[in-house]
């Protein structure tokens, strides 16, 4: 299994770690919400203009086979921050519901115990960097637990400006039931303005306050272009219209996010430490129906490529050469990559690999065995990708695709290749045993 390869990775990354330890790079991590693989011009989008992200992609590495760890918000964020398969946490395999509601059996059980969120026992990239002397900030969407014990400040963020849940009105900053979930360093906040602007403005102010002599980590998880579909200047929406809106409105939301990212990058360019700053952009999962996930099949919440393959780009001047890369990678690899760049040894082994050797040209792309599992209500979706083959078990319905010849997943080979189905299914079962969450032992005992 892929997890057994970690022992060799420090040897590959060692020269990069030693150099990074001397320069201590800053990190600017930009995270879009529900942006489709094909929703940026640099990924072939014909109807959305994204000049700032296109420029960022041209200056660094642009991934063509980058995957989210999950097809929804909460699990994707859990994997990104912890650097591990989110299944190891337990209860975070789909988006946490309004007000902190569990949406499948294990999550409901944790909710009943007041434990639905990312526990502080989990090591995160923010806590690791904070302990290593970094200034740390989040400005954006949290979605890893409503209770204070799960807050960003308990996970290493020294400055935290955020919404608790999955989505709020971009104008009123309330959830569909009118609940106010905007927080400023753990206290309720009621700022005025369009949500994308508020998050970007706070990020700019925080960056301006940083000394060039001390490394910093700025995590900016936008809510755009997640529903409700509201572009700048649009009015509030009610619950009945929450999921309504046109592709044109969606495009305006993406373009505005791109403009604000451009302003942030311009602010960064004026700093003396700009050239020692890693800038990374990706989407948390595939887009919903208004998104463009072309050329792939499926949308958010599915394990077809359109639900999990996302745009991703990373720039590090002088260290990562401009390129297009087909290296298969997941969210959790970014955690390993950024910690390696910062010269920080994680306090807990992760499941990801450092991508620095590949991106610097010191190592060839390697084949990976990657796993997914998604739970919501009665749905149980599992998938494994090994080489060009991808097997999906969608609540008992089997799919097998050869992505090398059929990236759009149009020809199901499951019936014709039962040996591959059995082999990949066995890999999935073994992985599930490996990532079983310790905090779910009580639930599993009750279920037995």
Catalytic residue positions, numbered: 73, 143
CB 37 within 8 A of CB 311: yes
Cβ burial of 396 (10 Å; 0-12, 13-18, 19+) is exposed
Spatial distance between the Cα atoms of 42 and 52, rounded to a whole number of angstroms:
10
Spatial distance between the Cα atoms of 94 and 307, rounded to a whole number of angstroms:
13
Spatial distance between the Cα atoms of 288 and 292, rounded to a whole number of angstroms:
8
Cβ burial of 442 (10 Å; 0-12, 13-18, 19+) is exposed
CB 101 within 8 A of CB 166: no
CB 245 within 8 A of CB 226: no
Q: In which residue are the tokens 């990239």 written?
A: 125
CB 181 within 8 A of CB 175: yes
**What distances in angstroms separate CA 441 from CA 109, 150, 445, one per listed residue?**
11, 21, 6
């Amino acid at each position: 299994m892929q997890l057994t390869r970690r022992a060799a990775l420090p040897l590959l990354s060692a020269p990069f770690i030693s150099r990074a330890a001397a320069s201590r790079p800053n990190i600017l991590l930009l995270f879009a919400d529900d942006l489709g693989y094909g929703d940026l011009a640099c990924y072939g989008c014909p109807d959305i203009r994204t000049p700032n992200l296109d420029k960022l992609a041209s200056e660094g590495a642009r991934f063509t086979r980058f995957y989210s760890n999950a097809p929804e918000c909460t699990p994707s964020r859990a994997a990104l921050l912890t650097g591990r398969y989110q299944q190891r946490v337990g209860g975070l395999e789909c988006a946490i519901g309004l007000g902190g509601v569990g949406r499948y059996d294990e999550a409901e059980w944790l909710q009943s115990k007041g434990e639905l969120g990312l526990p502080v026992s989990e090591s995160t990239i923010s806590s690791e960097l904070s302990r290593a002397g970094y200034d740390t900030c989040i400005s954006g969407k949290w979605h890893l637990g409503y209770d204070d014990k799960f807050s960003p400040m308990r996970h290493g963020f020294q400055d935290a400006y955020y919404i608790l849940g999955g989505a709020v009105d971009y104008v009123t900053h309330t959830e569909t039931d009118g609940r106010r979930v905007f927080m400023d360093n753990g206290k309720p906040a009621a700022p005025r303005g369009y949500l994308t602007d508020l998050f970007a403005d706070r990020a700019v102010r925080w960056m301006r306050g940083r000394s060039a002599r001390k490394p910093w980590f700025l995590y900016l998880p936008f809510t755009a272009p997640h529903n409700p579909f509201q572009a700048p200047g649009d009015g509030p929406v009610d619950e009945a219209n929450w999921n309504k809106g046109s592709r044109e409105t969606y495009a305006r939301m993406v373009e505005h996010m791109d403009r604000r990212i451009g302003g942030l990058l311009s602010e960064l360019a004026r700093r003396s430490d700009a050239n020692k700053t890693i800038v990374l952009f990706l989407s948390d999962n595939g887009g919903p129906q208004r998104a463009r996930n072309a050329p792939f099949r499926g949308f958010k919440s599915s394990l077809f490529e359109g639900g999990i393959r996302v745009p991703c780009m990373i720039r590090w001047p002088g260290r990562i050469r401009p390129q297009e890369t087909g290296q298969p990678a997941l969210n959790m690899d970014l955690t390993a990559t950024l910690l390696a760049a910062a010269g920080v040894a994680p306090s807990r082994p992760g499941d990801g690999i450092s991508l620095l050797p590949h991106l610097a040209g010191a190592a060839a792309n390697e084949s990976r065995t990657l796993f997914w599992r998604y739970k919501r209500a009665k749905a149980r979706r599992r998938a494994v990708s090994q080489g060009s083959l991808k097997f999906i078990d969608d609540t008992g319905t089997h799919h097998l695709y050869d992505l090398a010849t059929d990236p759009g997943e149009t020809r199901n080979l499951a019936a014709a290749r039962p040996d591959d189905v059995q082999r990949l299914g066995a890999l999935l079962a073994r992985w599930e045993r490996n990532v079983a969450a310790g905090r779910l032992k009580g639930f599993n005992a009750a279920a037995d």
